[in-house]
Amino acid sequence: MKHTYLNIGKIVLVGLISITPFFSCKKAVETSPYSSFASANFFQSVNEAYAATLGIYETMKSPNTYAWYIPLVYDADTDVEFLSPGNTVNDFREVSHYYYLAGNSYFYGTWSTLYNGIDRANIVIERIGKMDLYTGGTPAQKADLNRMLGEAKFLRGFYYSELIRLWGDVPFKTKSTAAGDEMRLPLTDRYIIYNQVIKDMQEAVEVLPQTLANDERINKFGAKAMLARIALFAGGYSLRSDGTMKQEADYKKYYQIAQTQVNDVISSGLYQLNPSYSQVFKNQSQQVFEPKESLFEASFYTPAVTTTSNSSIGTFNAPLTANGLYGSTLNRTFVPASFYTSFQDGDLRRDFSVARYSLDVNGNRVPLLTARQDEQWTPGKWSREYQKNSALEKSYTNINYVAMRYADVLLMKAEIENELNGGPTAAAYDAINAVRRRAFGTTTAGSGISIALGAGGTGYTAATTISITGTGTDAYAVPTIVSGKITAITILNAGGGYIAAPTVVINGPGTGATATATLLPKKNNQDVDLPSGLGQDAFLKSIQNERAWELCFEGMRRADLIRWNLLGDKIKATQDAVKAIRALYGYEANTNFVKGKHELYPIPQNEIDVNKNITRQNPGF
C-alpha cells in the first residue's frame, strides 16, 4: 500500500496548547504550517479549524495513551494475558501486577495527556461556533465545519469516558483553559460526566458522515458503536468512593441507549465481518485500512523513527523474535496456558491469536512446548511475520490501535438483548453465532489439516523446516528430530480454508523423510452455534467467554471484567489454574490484587499535590 499522510507543522492555539503532527497512512491533505494564532484571528478558515481538529486526534498517538499505556499496560494481568514477571519500581510491571502507588509516572502521563486532548476539544468546540463561515459560509464549508464540531464533541466525550473507566470520578470542565482560570477543580460524580458524554456523542452523530470511512476520522456509525460501549460501562459495575462495586439502580436505561446505537450500526448495512479472522490482523499489521470491520482506530503512521508517536503494538505484545530476517521484539506480554486451553477444538482463533513459538534469526518458528516454555506463550495477532518490517519499524511499529471492530458490535448486541429481555432473543443468538461461525470457518470453503509422518529419513538437523503449500492459510508444523531422524511432526496451527490436501515438503540437510497432509472434517453452523434454550446467566457467561476469545489482547478485557464485577474472581481463578500446572508459574496478579481497590487506579500523586480541591483519593490508596 502506498503511504500518504497528513503533516501539519507545530501549531499553538492561543498560546495554550501545542498541536503536533497527526498522520494518516490513508489520505493526504495539503495544509500550510502555522506558527501561532492570536485569539482575535484564529479559525479564519476551514483549514485552520481542520488543523486544530486533527490536534485533538493527536492525543491518541502518545505512548501515554493508545500507542502503549492504555491498551498494552492497563489491560494486562487478567485471565487472558499478563506482563513479564518482576517488581521494578515505577514501570509497567508495577502497574500490571497491582502493586503500584499513586506516584507511578504512568498514571500522570495518561491523565495529563487525556486532559490535554479535552482542552483541545473544548477550544475547537468554542471557536468553530464563533466563525463567520460556520453560519455564513458555502454549504460545503458549513458541512466541513459541522463535521469538525462533531469530531471534537465525540473525542471530548471519548476522552472523558476513558478517564472515568480508569479513575472513576474525575475533575470535569467543558470550557477551554484561559489565563486566570481556576485550574484546581474538584472531583465530579462520574454519572454527571456520563450524561455530558452521552449528550456530546448524540450531538456528534447528527453531523458526522454517514458514509463508510476512508481514513481514521470518526464517522456516524463509529461514534454510535463507541457510544454503545460507553453506555455499557455506565450501566455496568464500577468501584465507588466507599469501596463497593455497584450498578446504578436504573442501569437498564444505559443498556437501552446502547441498544439503539448497535441496532443503527447493524441496520446501516455498511459493516460486515472479514471472512477470515486472521486476515483482520494481518491487514492491521500491514497498515491496510479495513473500514467494514474496523469502526474506529487511532493512526500511528509517521515517516520518521521516533518513540513519541509510533506504536508498541507488534513489539511489546508479539512473539519473541531474534534480530535477523525480522526486527527483534520486546516480548513483554504473555498468555496464561489456561487461556489457551479454554478455546474449543476447531476454533481458528486459538492458534492464530496465541503464539506457542518464537521466531529465530531466519524467521522460522521455534516451538515452545517443553519444560516451562508454556510461560513464554505470547499474543500472535501482530507477529513480525505479518508486518512490513520496514527500516522504520525495527523498534516500534506503524500498527494502528483499533478501538472498535464490528465483531465487538455484534457481541454487544447479543449482551444487550440478553439483559433487556431477561434472556437471549433470536437476535442475540444471531449476533453471537455470526462471530462464532467466522471463528470456526463455517461460512467459508475448506477446512484445517492434519499431517501424518511417513518415513523419518536420516541426516536432519535443527535447521529443518516444513513447508505447506495449498489453497488455505495459516497451517504451520514443526519436526521433532532425534539423532538425525524425524520422529514426529507437531502442528502449531491446523489452519483453515484448505479445499484440497496441501503439499508437505520437509526442507533440510537430510534425506528420505516424508509426510502427508489430510483435510480435517469440515464443521457446519450446527456444530458451532450456541445451544438453544440457554437461560440469561448461561448466555451471559457464553458472551463473556466469546469476548475473551474474539477480542483477546485488544485492550478491553480488564474493562469488561470490571463492568461485570468479575476482575478479582478471574484473576484468582487464573492464578489457581496456572499454579496447578506448576507452583512457580510466573503469573502473580492475584498475589497483590485487592477487591474494592484495584478496580480503579489511584488519582495521580502529581495531581493530588497541586490540586487541594481534590479532597479524597480512590479507595484503598
DSSP run (H or E) holding 205? helix 190-205
Residue of 365, 182, 217 lying closest to 297 (CA atoms): 217
Inform me whether the pLDDT recorded for 517 exceeds 70.
Answer: yes
What does the alpha-carbon distance between residue 476 and residue 364 come to, in Å, rounded to a whole number? Answer: 10
Cell of 545: 467467554
What does the alpha-carbon distance between residue 66 and residue 68 come to, in Å, rounded to a whole number? Answer: 5
Long-range contact pairs involving 115-119 (C-beta distance under 8 Å, separation at least 24):
115/159, 115/163, 115/171, 116/17, 116/59, 117/56, 117/58, 117/59, 117/60, 117/65, 117/155, 117/156, 117/159, 118/156, 118/159, 118/160, 118/173, 119/16, 119/17, 119/176, 119/177
328-341: average pLDDT: 96
Supply the pLDDT for residue 5. Answer: 37
Res. 305 pLDDT band, cuts 50 70 90 = low
609 exposure class (CB count in 10 Å sphere: 0-12, 13-18, 19+): exposed
Query: Could you give the 3-state DSSP secondary structure of residue 130?
Result: helix
Q: What is the pLDDT of residues 571-608, one digit of tens each?
A: 999 999 999 999 999 999 999 999 999 999 999 999 99
- What are the percentages of helix, strand and coil residues in the chain, rounded to 5? 40, 15, 45
Residue of 235, 239, 237 lying closest to 251 (CA atoms): 235
In this structure, are residues 70 and 162 in contact, taking their beta carbons and an 8 Å threshold? yes
Backbone angles phi, psi at 399, to 5 degrees: -75, 125
Burial 502-538 (b: 16+ CB within 10 A, else e): bebebebebeebebebebbebbeeeebbbeeebeeee
DSSP string, 425-460: -HHHHHHHHHHHHHHHTTTSS-B-EEEEE----B--
The residue ranking higher by pLDDT, 499 or 33, is 499
Inform me whether the pLDDT recorded for 388 exceeds 60.
Answer: yes
Beta bridge partners of 523: none
DSSP string, 515-550: EEEEEPPPP-HHHHSPPTT--HHHHHHHHHHHHHHH
Query: Could you give the 3-state DSSP secondary structure of residue 415?
Result: helix
Query: Could you give the 3-state DSSP secondary structure of residue 102?
Result: coil
Cell of 600: 480503579
189 exposure class (CB count in 10 Å sphere: 0-12, 13-18, 19+): middle
In this structure, are residues 65 and 49 in contact, taking their beta carbons and an 8 Å threshold? no
Other beta carbons within 10 angstroms of residue 391's beta carbon come to: 8
Name the pairing type of β-strands 465-469 and 503-507.
Answer: antiparallel
Query: Could you give the 3-state DSSP secondary structure of residue 86?
Result: coil
Long-range contact pairs involving 425-433 (C-beta distance under 8 Å, separation at least 24):
428/539, 429/529, 429/530, 429/532, 432/530, 432/542, 432/543, 432/546, 433/525, 433/528, 433/529, 433/530
Query: Could you give the 3-state DSSP secondary structure of residue 182?
Result: coil
In this structure, are residues 557 and 80 in contact, taking their beta carbons and an 8 Å threshold? yes
Chain-wide mean pLDDT for the chain?
92
363-385: average pLDDT: 96
Supply the pLDDT for residue 306. Answer: 57
Cell of 556: 478491553
Q: What is the pLDDT of residues 169-222, one digit of tens each?
A: 999 999 988 877 788 999 999 999 999 999 999 999 999 999 999 999 999 999
Q: What is the pLDDT of residues 225-276, one digit of tens each?
A: 999 999 999 999 999 999 999 999 999 999 999 999 999 999 999 999 999 9
252 exposure class (CB count in 10 Å sphere: 0-12, 13-18, 19+): middle
**Inter-CA distances, 132 with 41, 46, 128, 143, 330, Å:** 11, 11, 9, 14, 51
Residue of 435, 440, 554, 423 lying closest to 497 (CA atoms): 440
